[in-house]
Amino acid sequence: MYDGGKIIIGLIIGLGLLLSPFFYNAGKAAKAPDPELTQKAKEAKVCVAPTTYMRESHFTLLDEWRHTVVRDGERYYTSDDGKKYYKGLQTTCLDCHSNYSKFCELCHNYVDVDPYCWDCHILPEEKK
């Protein structure tokens, strides 16, 4: 092999550069987000479903809502405790959770999802 030493050094440097992000971030876990509740959400105490379900599966519920509202014209949702809610992302969900940047966005960024809800649905105005 001609210039074997140079090639091997080059390979080592190349591999090192390739793996550098892993070494750089080794041992450091990204901080889990801590979404904030608005005053209104705190006072309401209950969401349309239990907190754990909402945390893990709110998108399933939203998908069901959009389907039943748009296609079946069923605009009301009855929660497990018998309370009736008007199905609406903008009118019901965001009415309480009006702090997009400190609630929705934190977790969406953390798990690297980019829901396209906001292409059409209007985000609440937040005080800077």
Residue ranges binding another protein (CB under 8 A) = 66, 68, 70-76, 78, 88, 90-91, 116, 119-122, 124
Answer whether 115's CB lies under 8 Å from 59's CB: yes
Task: Give, in degrees to the nearest 5, the angle at Cα 40 between 33 and 55.
Answer: 35
Q: How far is the CB of 34 from another protein (least distance, A)?
A: 28
Structure tokens at 114: 């980019």
Q: Which is nearer to another protein, 18 or 120 (CB)?
A: 120
Report CA 52 to chain centroid distance, whole Å.
14
Q: Which is nearer to another protein, 20 or 91 (CB)?
A: 91
Q: How far is the CB of 58 from another protein (least distance, A)?
A: 17
Q: Greatest CA separation found in the chain?
A: 80
Q: How far is the CB of 114 from another protein (least distance, A)?
A: 14
Q: How far is the CB of 41 from another protein (least distance, A)?
A: 18
Termini Cα distance of the chain: 64
Q: Which is nearer to another protein, 4 or 73 (CB)?
A: 73
Q: Give the span between the Cα atoms of 26 and 95, in whole angstroms.
A: 41
